[in-house]
Structure formats: C-alpha cells, structure tokens
Amino acid sequence: MRRMSVLIAVAVVVGAACTPLQTHVTVLASDAFAGRNNATQASIDSQNYIIGQLKNYGATGLNTGATGDDTFRQPFTDGTNVVGVIKGRELPNEYVIVGGHYDHLGSTCRGSVPADSICNGATDNAAGAAAAIEVGHALAQLPGGPRRSVVIALWDREEDGLLGSAFYVAHPLVPLNQTIAYVNFDIQGANLLPSLRTTSFAVGAETGGTRLTDAVKTAVGTTLQTHLVSSIFGQGRSDYVNFTSVQVPNVFFSDSTGPCYHTVKDELDVVDFGKLAKETDIATKVTEDLVTGTPPAFVGNAPLATFADAVELQSVVTQALGDIGRFTPAQQAQLAQFMSDLDAVVGRGEGQFGQADITTILGGAVNAVNLLTSGTCDGFLAP
Ligand SMILES: [Zn+2]
C-alpha cells in the first residue's frame, strides 16, 4: 500500500507542472534511489542527477585530478561529495559555499519493514539538497553572474558522522582562507507540529558576527518565522560544524527533527513544498548578500547561548503549546516546565541573564527536541 501511494504521488507531482524543487525532491526521494546510501548504485545515480542539474545552469567541476563529469566528484573512503562552482564575475577567488548532504540511510532506519523498507529521506535531506541546488541556480542567473564565486556542495556520508564535509575541510577544493562563508541545509520543508507550520530555524549565524546575523534577519523578513538561534542548538548534528572547526562563518537552516526523523515515512508526501520554497528563497537572499557585500569575520568566542535564544525559544514553545494535547501527560509536564522556565528567564530581563539560565535553556531545548522527535510521523501539511 505504501509503495503504491508513493508511486501515485510521484506521478501526480511529476505529471503536473512542477517546480525544480519539487522535481529534485521527487527524484532523489523516490524508491528508485533506494535511500541514497553511500557506496551504492543509488548513490551514483544521485550523484549523476545532481551533476546534471549543476551542469544545466553552467556550474563546473572543481576536482582538477579528474575529467568530464568526474570533475564534480570528490571521492573519499566509501563516499563521494559532489561539488561544483559558479565563477564570480569580480572576485572569482573568493567563495561562498552552499551545501547539504545528499546521502541517507538506505534501508536502515526506524519503522523499516519488508512492505516499506526504503528510508527515502525526503525532508532529510533530499529537500535540503534541492535547496542547495536551487540557490546555486538562482545565483547563476544573476546578470553577469554572482560577484564572488559560489560553490555548490552536496555531501556524502553525513549520516555516518558528517564524514563528507569533514573530508572536504581537510581536503578543500578552494582555499579555506578564501571561503568567506558556508550556508548549510539539513531537514527542510518539514513541520514539527501543525502549530509550527511557519516555524523554521537559522542556527549559528553568530559565527559570522552581526554581519551574518543581520544578513539572515534581512533575508528572512516576514517570509517565515525563521528563528535565529546560537550554534549550540544545532547540537553538532550537521555538516556546518566542520566549517566552524576551520573558522569559516556559517549558518545552518533547519526545521529540526520531528516525528518523521529517520523513519521510512520521511517520504514525498510529508514534504511541505510551500515552506521549502520560502526557505530556499531566504537562503538565496542570504547567499546573494554574502557573494556581493562585505565578508563576515569569524567569531569563535560567542557565548554558548544568549538571552536572544531564550526569547526565540519562548516564542516557539508558546506556539507549540497549541498542540499540547498531542503529547503524553509526562511530555506535557516537560513542555509546561520549559515554558515556565523560559518565561522566568525572559521575564528577569537581559541584564540578569547568566550561566544558570544557559544551562536551563540548553537542557530544556534538548528535552524539547527529543519530545518533538517522538510520536507518529505526520507532515502536518495544511489541509
Ligand atoms: Zn540530515
């Protein structure tokens, strides 16, 4: 039954006039791509699809040790990153990297049963890969090209411990000291709850100081309720951390982990394509700002968490309480406790914010992420 419904959904989406984002996610998350596990034929098929898209809009490969399409491939142990560049028109030797992982779990994820064994990874991270591809596409279409160069990077083996991006920063294809920023996507077009359909997160922009946080805030505008939170709230769980470790300013766009996370149900029918389009639009604006304007300087000594984080989390939890009935009594108590803690921290004011508050909000956020990742997979798409 499940397989049939996916096939129908693929037919409907591909048959109708659909956007490039829809096409990329439909292809990459299809059963034919078998969950995009590294070192499989499905991985090679995914790479070929992505390379085709990058070539279509004029990106070129960066691996000078290879020829033809292989110039887009950066092989490493049991994995292959796909990396292309759009040369900048004025400052071709300065780079902004836009990326996310394209690999997923094959058939090793929660809920895998013989009747539905494929971990399609639609929101994680076919959607993020699609966003990265389309940010590159938009910048390739700027009149005369982008001012700085844009590198589009689709990482492999993220699911095995961020290995593709770790290999990249150890073996960069453009100099890291000429890489002015990294924009990461992981889990996009996803809803944590019905009440959070317009909620998203931009994690760690403070690594590029106010230059980068301002760029993100401006790009977000009123498009989505994209909450800027400090790098720590990404829990080190995506490729952005490898760029932090080599002091490249970065921002990580994510919808966080919800009940479909690493389940076989993370497939096409849970993707919120309206949200994904807005997220891609925001990231395109951020990237265009970065390729055009002043480079951000890396800030490595920002506090782990700030009063502003408490304010952002207070807003998210307040909204999530609209769905409190979806949780178990124990979870409801946890959520209510986090709410009252956040209200207290914010109520005392920024001048009183201290180490104990940091501990409170970090612990509360970990609990909240765990609680939101429990339950039955649902895309919570608008009716
Ligand atoms: Zn992911």
217-250 pLDDT tens trace = 999 999 999 999 999 999 999 999 999 999 999 9
Residue 212 CA to ligand 1 center (angstroms) comes to 23
Q: What is the pTM of this model?
A: 0.95
Rounded to an integer, the average pLDDT of 57-73 is 98
| Mean pLDDT, the chain, whole residue set | 95
Query: Is 137 in the same domain as 168?
Result: yes
Number of domains in the chain: 2
Residue 355 CA to ligand 1 center (angstroms) comes to 31
Residue 242 CA to ligand 1 center (angstroms) comes to 14
Residue 15: predicted pLDDT: 55
pLDDT above 90 coverage of the chain, percent: 94
Residue 183 CA to ligand 1 center (angstroms) comes to 14
Residue type, 270: V
Rounded to an integer, the average pLDDT of 350-359 is 98
Query: Is 313 in the same domain as 276?
Result: no
By the 8 A CB rule, do 62 and 56 touch?
no
Residue 159 CA to ligand 1 center (angstroms) comes to 7
Residue type, 188: Q
pLDDT of 60 higher than 70: yes
- What is the length of the chain? 383
Residue 346 CA to ligand 1 center (angstroms) comes to 31
Residue 142 CA to ligand 1 center (angstroms) comes to 29
Q: Which of 255, 269, 224 is nearest to 122 (CA)?
A: 269
Query: Is 252 in the same domain as 320?
Result: no
Which residues contact residue 40 at a Cβ distance below 8 angstroms, ignoring those fewer than 6 apart?
Answer: 34, 106
- Per-residue confidence band for 273, with pLDDT thresholds at 50, 70 and 90: very high
Asked which of 292, 322, 355 is the last residue of a domain, the reply is: 292
Which residues are registered as beta bridge partners of 74?
81
CA atoms of 162 and 170, how far apart (whole Å): 13
As a whole number of Å, the CA-based R_g of the chain is: 20
Query: Would you say residue 302 lies in a domain?
Result: no
Residue 38: predicted pLDDT: 98
Residue 124 CA to ligand 1 center (angstroms) comes to 4
Q: Lowest-pLDDT range, 5-14, 83-92, 182-191, 319-328?
A: 5-14
Residue 102 CA to ligand 1 center (angstroms) comes to 8
- Per-residue confidence band for 302, with pLDDT thresholds at 50, 70 and 90: very high
Query: Is 345 in the same domain as 242?
Result: no
- Per-residue confidence band for 5, with pLDDT thresholds at 50, 70 and 90: very low
Query: Is 228 in the same domain as 251?
Result: yes
Residue 17: predicted pLDDT: 78
Q: Lowest-pLDDT range, 40-49, 89-98, 104-113?
A: 104-113
Query: Would you say residue 313 lies in a domain?
Result: yes
Residue 15 CA to ligand 1 center (angstroms) comes to 28
Cα 240 to Cα 49, 131, 204: the distances in Å are 24, 15, 9
Query: Would you say residue 379 lies in a domain?
Result: no
Residue 269: predicted pLDDT: 97
Query: Is 242 in the same domain as 146?
Result: yes
Residue 144 CA to ligand 1 center (angstroms) comes to 34
Asked which of 292, 322, 350 is the last residue of a domain, the reply is: 292
Residue 104 CA to ligand 1 center (angstroms) comes to 7
pLDDT digits (tens, 9 = 90+) for 324-354: 999 999 999 999 999 999 999 999 999 999 9
pLDDT of 3 higher than 90: no
Query: Would you say residue 380 lies in a domain?
Result: no
Residue 177 CA to ligand 1 center (angstroms) comes to 27
Query: Is 287 in the same domain as 311?
Result: no
Which DSSP symbol is given to 113?
B
- Per-residue confidence band for 133, with pLDDT thresholds at 50, 70 and 90: very high
By the 8 A CB rule, do 149 and 91 touch?
yes
Residue 263 CA to ligand 1 center (angstroms) comes to 12
Residue 122 CA to ligand 1 center (angstroms) comes to 10
pLDDT of 6 higher than 50: no
Residue 292 CA to ligand 1 center (angstroms) comes to 29
Query: Is 247 in the same domain as 346?
Result: no
The CATH code of the domain that includes 83 is 3.40.630.10
Residue 14: predicted pLDDT: 55
Residue 128 CA to ligand 1 center (angstroms) comes to 8
152-182 burial by CB neighbour count: b if 16+ within 10 A, else e?
bbbbbbbbeebbbbbbbbeebbbebeebbbb
CA atoms of 132 and 101, how far apart (whole Å): 10
Query: Is 225 in the same domain as 355?
Result: no
Query: Would you say residue 378 lies in a domain?
Result: no
**Cβ count near 344 (within 10 Å):** 12
Query: Would you say residue 163 lies in a domain?
Result: yes
Query: Is 260 in the same domain as 324?
Result: no
Residue 121 CA to ligand 1 center (angstroms) comes to 8
Residue 115 CA to ligand 1 center (angstroms) comes to 24
Query: Would you say residue 359 lies in a domain?
Result: yes
Asked which of 292, 326, 350 is the last residue of a domain, the reply is: 292
Full residue range of the structural domain in which residue 341 is found: 307-373
Query: Is 222 in the same domain as 317?
Result: no
Q: Which of 167, 178, 141 is nearest to 38 (CA)?
A: 167
CA atoms of 128 and 137, how far apart (whole Å): 14
pLDDT of 173 higher than 50: yes
Query: Would you say residue 299 lies in a domain?
Result: no
Query: Is 221 in the same domain as 94?
Result: yes
Dihedral angle at the C-alpha atoms of 257, 263, 265, 267, nearest 10 degrees?
Answer: 70
